[in-house]
Copies of this chain bind each other. A is one copy, B any other.
Amino acid sequence: MENRLAWGKQVLAAQPFSVLLGAELLSFSKGGVELKVPIKAELMQQHGFVHGGVISYAADNALTYAGGSALGPGVVTSEFKINYVRPAMGEFIVARATVMHAGKNQAVCRCEVYVSSRGAERLCAIAQGTITRVGQPSKPRTQPRQST
């Protein structure tokens, strides 16, 4: 799908919380996605690191996009698990998610979240979760739904 990235950006722009966090969709292809969140002061916890909630947001949303690339519009993350492996400090985080297996109604996806600082990327979290189709997939007017 040629316009997948444009469509994905449109969905992201329609999510007020993603807008609040400043998330950007870097790439979006069948089976994979890259979601970036620039690090700003208001995304921190009390020690100058990116708050875990920002990292889990990025992982969750990237997993949903990855699942949606396999299942089509109208999907949600029904569950996921995340391991934080390193405090994140730098210019931005980027979550990269891929599809490990997709059935008709569910996809199982993985995600790595990296923090970029001075041009170098370091892994800060990994995640794994289930993306589920919702609503009426046959109705073309059904809007995509991420992360209810």
Interface of chain A residues 115 through 148 with chain B (CB within 8 A): 123, 126-130, 143-148
Instruction: Tell me if A108 is interfacial: C-beta within 8 Å of chain B.
Output: yes
Which of B44, B86, B146 is within 8 Å of A52, CB to CB?
B146
- Among residues of B, the one whose C-beta sits closest to the C-beta of A23 is B53
Which of B16, B53, B61, B83 is within 8 Å of A78, CB to CB?
B83
Instruction: Tell me if A5 is interfacial: C-beta within 8 Å of chain B.
Output: no
Flag if B148 contacts A84 (CB, 8 Å).
yes
Number of copies: 4
- Among residues of B, the one whose C-beta sits closest to the C-beta of A47 is B145
Alpha-carbon distance A108/B112, docked complex (angstroms): 12
Which of B46, B50, B78, B147 is within 8 Å of A146, CB to CB?
B46
Alpha-carbon distance A51/B76, docked complex (angstroms): 10
Flag if B100 contacts A126 (CB, 8 Å).
yes
- Among residues of B, the one whose C-beta sits closest to the C-beta of A21 is B53
Flag if A128 contacts B84 (CB, 8 Å).
no
- A144: chain B residues within 8 A (beta carbon): 46
Can you list 27 A-B contacts with CB-CB less than 8 angstroms, sorted by A residue number? A15-B44, A15-B51, A16-B41, A17-B43, A20-B20, A45-B147, A46-B143, A46-B144, A46-B146, A49-B148, A50-B148, A51-B146, A52-B57, A52-B76, A52-B77, A53-B53, A53-B147, A56-B56, A78-B83, A79-B82, A79-B83, A79-B84, A86-B101, A100-B112, A100-B126, A110-B110, A110-B126
